[in-house]
Chain A
């Protein structure tokens, strides 16, 4: 049995849970991690030093009782979560809320890139492949798209130019990401190389090779940074509703949402989607059903990488306007997005938004409080941890209903009793 079999068996279990239950579990996971996070904030607030406590834990003293305890903390968890969530959305509760404000734009632009990365990982997961290499594919796609746009954009100007260079950019990103992802696909299919290992290696290789290319061949000579030239203005993704400097385009988000629908349709309603899901759930059955597993693995990897590559293209074209080394870890975030979404393309939309909020909110927390923004990374890990153990919540729910664990065990034992 290969590692893949194990992984997909676990994934199948996740997928098998009903959508409603999944949603409830994701929500519960979010709350549970916020709870743990609170403890963390308080504990850290005791360890660190400060001149005045921002948060005091005590009890009411109704009858003039003397206080039994009064503990001051340097960090205020309420403020942290207020800033984290409301800050990221641009304070919908305040009167002057601008839904098209800068903070919202930031949140949505993170959401957009995560959407592509998450979709990419989800497609692979559904095909029973663990694509840890989304990061590398995203990086490669990112550079390819910028190089393509730098070539094409000067040729055509105006609105047409925007359309042409954007399409070329996205296509180049998709192509490069897809081809790069095809490498572990081919290795897995034809020499049986474990994709977990190869994709991790290819992430490192992508960073190195891309760094080499930029530094030695396509570097912007004007800049100290290891980056390409900036793409012409007319090749930028047009911003609608939001201010141009926010580096966010509803158009890109729209493409993302379209792709969510597209991937959903592909998986649920096409023969290729059937091939892919079958290989993911039960490779032996897929083979039996005439699915060419080798080709499906390569194709799924390619599709997965293409989606990640588009994510990279959007990151470069929409946010940076150039390629620069040191691409944020969207690819790894994509894995967490996909896991939280239960690898369901529609769920990826919600999960990407949540992580978009967390990412953009982290900046607000960094700015508005003394709490280190790495807290948000910890929260992200906790969410995934809780999502990984639906049993914990079922048990919690079960306890409340007074159902004992023993019955659960017996139930699973009885099903296959011969």
Chain B
């Protein structure tokens, strides 16, 4: 493919240059001079993008992988040079952000920070490197006066909206007796489950939307919740979901990163259904496609892609928050690859109409489970 070859050549050349630079003038990239995006002396039109992923790293099959996908898409379309860092702990965020910001060779045109935990330190970094363009996903850093930073573009999602649809679908299905793929639901059970990773306001948005969606279908529906305390503990996810399935839940929705892998496993074991998160997990976790009804896709890739695109085009706009909801296709409920076509027509159409209602503002979706 044409694009691929170009990408390969760029990457190869880039690596060579980086290697050479490393040898000739030694480590000079540790200067304390602040980077200056506007006077960047790059002769080529190459745009440099640095990305700091959330802890949990790549291969989580959801959040980080989705961000990577956006970057890869941008790479295939623009003349990009990227460097990605996967911190092992949250305390590394600041350091890694600053590394990108302070780097003079190359100078980064955009530093993309993935995950809400990066917000606080990003505030500091952004103040310190006012000429560096930053992007953050899932949070809006503000200073003490509640103002956003001029050089930070924030992208947030209305996860509760997408989750509401997940709740709608799950609620409808659990009231019926459906048997598709390797799973089935029993009409006599009115239980659903939600497995969260680390208990936090962000994940609670998923929970709130899901519960509200399900309860809108029928007030009788009961949603069991469990926070495993970890985004990368599949065993815990499995036990949590297994416990839900065995106590009558037909469908479990997870917002737990890699912990979700265990949820899928439990669904397969129990012959029940699951709704994925962040990406179309019936694709990324294809071995579980036979139980994944749908996935609440959060277009982190869109967020990353559009920020990169803006940086390439010189149209980067800091100090603003972009909220991606159902309306802007920032979140969506994507039917499973394998099961989607087998979903009852009544369910899919109901979900579609609910979606429209939310977009039209007819349904107000709560973002906090305590007042759901």
CB of B247 within 8 A of chain A? Answer: no
CB of A102 within 8 A of chain B? Answer: yes
- Residue of A50, A86, A328 touching B91 (CB-CB under 8 A): A328
CB of B320 within 8 A of chain A? Answer: no
Question: How many chain A residues touch B (Cβ–Cβ < 8 Å)?
Answer: 49
Encode A13-52 as 1/0 by CB contact (under 8 A) with B.
0000000000000000000000000000000000000111
- Residue of B22, B120, B124 touching A225 (CB-CB under 8 A): B120
Knowing A90-B30, A320-B91 are in contact, say whether A52-B15 is a contact too (CB < 8 A): yes
Question: How many chain B residues touch A (Cβ–Cβ < 8 Å)?
Answer: 47
Q: Is the CB of B200 within 8 A of A367?
A: no
Encode A320-353 as 1/0 by CB contact (under 8 A) with B.
1010111111000000000000000000000000
CB contacts under 8 Å to B, within A236-264, are 243, 245, 247
Among residues of A, the one whose C-beta sits closest to the C-beta of B87 is A366
Q: Is the CB of A102 within 8 A of B98?
A: yes
Q: A327 to chain B: which residues have CB within 8 Å? A: 91
CB of B117 within 8 A of chain A? Answer: yes
Knowing A87-B27, A367-B85, A367-B96 are in contact, say whether A79-B22 is a contact too (CB < 8 A): yes
Q: B55 to chain A: which residues have CB within 8 Å? A: 326
Q: B139 to chain A: which residues have CB within 8 Å? A: 224
CB of A54 within 8 A of chain B? Answer: yes
- Residue of B90, B96, B120, B138 touching A363 (CB-CB under 8 A): B96
Q: Is the CB of B94 within 8 A of A91?
A: no
Q: Is the CB of B30 within 8 A of A51?
A: no
Bound-state CA distance A393–B98 (Å) is 41
Bound-state CA distance A162–B120 (Å) is 22
Q: B353 to chain A: which residues have CB within 8 Å? A: none
- Residue of B19, B30, B90, B119 touching A91 (CB-CB under 8 A): B30
Q: Is the CB of B102 within 8 A of A324?
A: no
The interface stretch among A59-67, A92-100, A266-274, A409-417 is A92-100
Q: Is the CB of A52 within 8 A of B22?
A: no
Binding site for B on A (CB under 8 A): 50-52, 54, 76, 79, 82-83, 86-87, 90-91, 93-94, 96, 98, 101-103, 106, 208, 211, 215, 223-227, 230, 243, 245, 247, 319-320, 322, 324-329, 360, 363-364, 366-368, 373-374
Binding site for A on B (CB under 8 A): 8, 11-12, 15-16, 19, 22, 26-32, 55, 83, 85-92, 94-96, 98-100, 102-103, 116-117, 119-120, 124, 127-128, 138-139, 198-202, 229
Sample of 17 further A-B pairs with CB below 8 A, known A102-B32, A223-B201, A367-B96: A51-B12, A96-B28, A208-B229, A211-B199, A211-B229, A215-B200, A224-B117, A224-B138, A226-B200, A247-B94, A320-B91, A324-B117, A360-B95, A363-B95, A363-B96, A366-B87, A368-B27
